[in-house]
Every structure is written in structure tokens, then in C-alpha cells.
């Protein structure tokens, strides 16, 4: 019913939603027949449907390399995230994980649900990895080794300062950006981007996820693992978990806004990175998650619901981002619009208002200076349309027909 209400309120979401549904079904049909590649792509759809869809933008050889890169790092992350594994067992696995990708027999039982399946049947990933070209293997091994060592370091180390925060995010996400840049370069389709810009691409996504997932992470059992830096949250509460208590709502929102402001520091680097990409498929692969991230931050900023549940963009807007992020003009336009949305929420009484506005103004200036803002139609900020009841009824009829056809095709 929630989706139907959203479509009633935003009928223009229907077309991109249908396109997204059909694209997802098409992607599922593209799963290779061989056992190990079939497992890898099936698992990709299970652990991240959005990534499985975005990866379809890439040419086949690069797509295979990125798929394996993602699954190897997802497996590594599963080991790190499993708080039931004793530290003396976990740390050596993290440090040596880059060697296990060459072992067709290696597996380690941990995680839950689809992540447990990934770990139990990791030999499929190793087998597929060994079929990649050597330069892809070397890039994946190098990043896995560096990430595993970084994760091991933070198993026994708290995120105290913003420097710690940046270092942790570098290990778990910035290195992903470096690895992807290496894979793009190895494919011959892109120049090798600088480590600094590649790192910012990962940090912006990771910090967005850390902000959005506060409640899920703080409530994790048997033991929570949090990465909000003490240097930020200690300005507002004595213990990090106190942010979720209703009595601390005002302080919680101020802390949240501080975290969002910190994440915004990476935006200009991200725009520079994306503006240098030449290959359209790689561009879309990189740009869609970044637009989703700035959109998510715009939704999270000054929003107490981050501490009550899940805050995310509505599905229709997500579908529009995927459908309409095709050129650098689209990216500058989306970042401009979401930054304007975020700016409109800044309260001058917020302790970080001046810093937040300064960072937003810098982003808006970069977007304006691109000279591309007049080359696209905004789908984010719009005046409220006046749809007639007849049009809404017609839309529902069309939706019912499409859903019936999709259900019929499934059976």
C-alpha cells in the first residue's frame, strides 16, 4: 500500500518504476549458465540487487571483473561484520584473505542468510576469479590485501577522531574506489585516476551509509559496531547510543547534521572524478550510486527519523535516478538540486550551520561553473502537479495490467 500511495502522490514515478522492474528482470535472465559464474551473478542479485542492476551498465569482461571484486570484498566484509567470531580467529583471516582467492577449496562458515551461502560456497568465487585476466587478478588481490589489513587494525581500535574515521572509511570503501579505478584502467577504457579522487568516491558512499544505518548498527546483536567518530558525537551526548533516545532528539539531530556536513567535504572530488570519465557505461556505473548518496544525505539531514527507523529515497525517485543519470550534465544537475534541497533544511541555529552552508555553496558553485545546468530538466525539485482523478484512475489501470503481465510471465 505504501508504494501505491507513493505513486498516487507522484504518478510520474510510474514509468521509471516499470522500466526499473523490467531491467531487473532482464538482468536476472542474463545470469551465465556455468556453475561458478551462475553462482556469482545469482549471489550478486541476492546480496545487492541495486549493485547487480548498476553493474549491467558495464561491458562483459569488465563486468565479470567488477562482479568478482565486489563478491570478494563482500565476503571479506562478512568476516569483519560477524561479531560472533573471536578476535583471535577473525584477525588472521582478514589479514590472509587475499591469499584465499587463489584457493579453489577454501571456505569459512560465518555470516547469516545469503552471506552464509556466499561464505560456505566461496569456492565458486575463487574459481571465477582464477578465470579473470592476470591484471584484473592482481588489482583485486592488492586491494583485498590492503583492505583486510585495515579491517584487522580497526577490530581492536575505536574510531575516536575524524582522522580515524577517514582512515577506517579508506580501508573499507576508499580502497574500493582505488580498486575500481585500477580495473577501469586495466580494461583500457579509462586513464588511471588519482588515488585521492578515487578515495573520495568511496568515502562519500561509505559515510552516507554509516549515517543512514545508525539505528540498524547500534541495535546489532550480539554486539554493536559503530563508526561515528567520538570527536563528533561526544559534543552532543556522553554515549553514542543515547542519540536514539527521544529525550535527546534535539542533540541527536545536531550530531546528525555534523556528520552530514563532514560527508559533504568529499563531493567536489567526486564531481571531478566523474567529469574525467570517458566511457559512457563506466560513467553510469560510477555516477548512479553517487547521485543516490547525495539524495540520501538530503533526506537524512535534520531528520530525526534516522534515529527511529530507515530513511531513504522513495523508490520512484530512485528509479528516476537510475533512468536519467546518463551524462555529466545529469550528475551536476542532480547534485545541484539535492544540494538546494539540503540547503533549504539548514537551520541557522544549528551549531554547524555556517560550515554546512559553506560546503553547500562550494558544491553549488562547482555545479554552476560546469555550464551544464541549463542542459537538463530537473526531476528532483518541481512544482506540485495538479493531476486529475481521471488520470490517476488511468494510471492505476495501466499499472494493474503491467503487473498482471509480469506475474503471468513469472509463472
Active centre residues (catalytic): 168, 212, 225, 285
d(CA 274, CA 290): 9
- What are all long-range contacts of 391-395, with beta carbons under 8 Å and residues at least 24 apart? 391/11, 392/8, 392/11, 395/7, 395/11, 395/14
Strands (E), 101-210: none
Q: Reduced to 3 DSSP states, what percent helix, strand and coil does the chain have, rounded to the nearest 5? A: 75, 0, 25
- Kindly state the cell numbers that stand for 55: 553493474
Q: CA–CA distance from 293 to each of 108, 245, 270, 290 (Å)?
A: 32, 26, 11, 5
User: DSSP for 209-261?
Assistant: HHHHTHHHHHT-SS-----S-HHHHTTT-SSGGGGGSGGGHHHHHHHHHHHHH
User: DSSP for 266-288?
Assistant: GHHHHHHHHHT---HHHHHHHHH
- Kindly state the cell numbers that stand for 318: 530512485
Element (H, E) at 36: helix 35-47
> DSSP label at 112?
S
Amino acid at each position: 500500500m505504501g508504494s501505491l500511495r507513493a505513486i498516487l502522490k507522484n504518478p510520474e514515478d510510474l514509468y521509471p518504476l516499470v522500466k526499473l522492474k523490467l531491467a531487473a528482470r532482464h538482468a536476472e535472465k542474463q545470469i551465465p549458465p556455468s556453475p561458478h559464474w551462475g553462482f556469482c551473478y545469482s549471489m550478486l542479485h541476492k546480496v545487492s540487487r541495486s549493485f547487480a542492476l548498476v553493474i549491467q551498465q558495464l561491458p562483459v569482461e569488465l563486468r565479470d571483473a567488477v562482479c568478482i571484486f565486489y563478491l570478494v570484498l563482500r565476503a571479506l566484509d562478512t568476516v569483519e561484520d560477524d561479531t560472533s567470531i573471536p578476535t583471535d580467529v577473525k584477525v588472521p583471516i582478514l589479514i590472509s584473505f587475499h591469499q584465499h582467492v587463489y584457493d579453489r577449496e577454501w571456505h569459512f562458515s560465518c555470516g547469516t542468510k545469503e552471506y552464509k551461502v556466499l561464505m560456505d560456497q566461496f569456492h565458486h568465487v575463487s574459481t571465477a576469479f582464477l578465470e579473470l585476466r592476470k591484471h584484473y587478478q592482481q588489482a583485486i588481490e592488492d586491494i583485498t590485501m590492503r583492505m583486510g589489513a585495515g579491517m584487522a587494525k580497526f577490530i581492536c581500535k575505536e574510531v575516536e577522531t575524524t582522522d580515524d574515521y577517514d582512515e577506517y572509511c579508506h580501508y573499507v570503501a576508499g580502497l574500493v574506489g582505488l580498486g575500481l579505478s585500477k580495473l577501469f584502467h586495466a580494461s583500457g577504457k579509462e586513464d588511471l585516476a588519482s588515488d585521492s579522487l578515487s578515495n573520495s568516491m568511496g568515502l562519500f558512499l561509505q559515510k552516507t551509509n554509516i549515517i543512514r544505518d545508525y539505528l540498524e548498527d547500534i541495535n546489532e546483536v550480539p554486539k554493536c559496531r559503530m563508526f561515528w567518530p567520538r570527536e563528533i558525537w561526544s559534543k552532543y551526548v556522553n554515549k553514542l547510543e543515547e542519540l536514539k533516545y527521544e529525550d535527546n532528539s534535539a542533540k541527536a539531530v545536531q550530531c546528525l547534521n555534523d556528520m552530514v556536513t563532514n560527508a559533504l567535504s568529499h563531493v567536489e572530488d567526486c564531481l571531478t572524478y566523474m567529469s574525467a570519465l570517458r566511457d559512457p557505461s563506466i560513467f553510469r556505473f560510477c555516477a548512479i550510486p553517487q547521485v543516490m548518496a547525495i539524495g540520501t544525505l538530503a533526506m537524512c539531514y535534520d531528520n530525526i527519523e534516522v534515529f527511529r527507523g530507515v530513511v531513504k529515497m522513495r523508490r520512484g525517485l530512485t528509479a528516476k535516478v537510475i533512468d536519467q543519470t546518463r551524462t555529466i550534465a545529469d550528475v551536476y544537475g542532480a547534485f545541484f538540486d539535492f544540494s538546494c534541497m539540503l540547503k533549504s533544511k539548514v537551520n541557522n541555529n544549528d551549531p554547524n550551520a555556517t560550515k554546512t552552508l559553506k560546503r553547500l555553496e562550494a558544491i553549488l558553485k562547482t555545479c554552476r561553473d560546469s555550464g551544464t545546468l541549463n542542459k537538463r530538466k530537473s526531476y528532483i525539485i518541481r512544482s506540485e502537479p495538479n493531476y486529475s482523478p481521471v488520470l490517476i484512475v488511468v494510471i492505476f489501470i495501466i499499472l494493474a495490467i503491467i503487473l498482471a503481465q509480469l506475474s503471468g510471465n513469472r509463472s
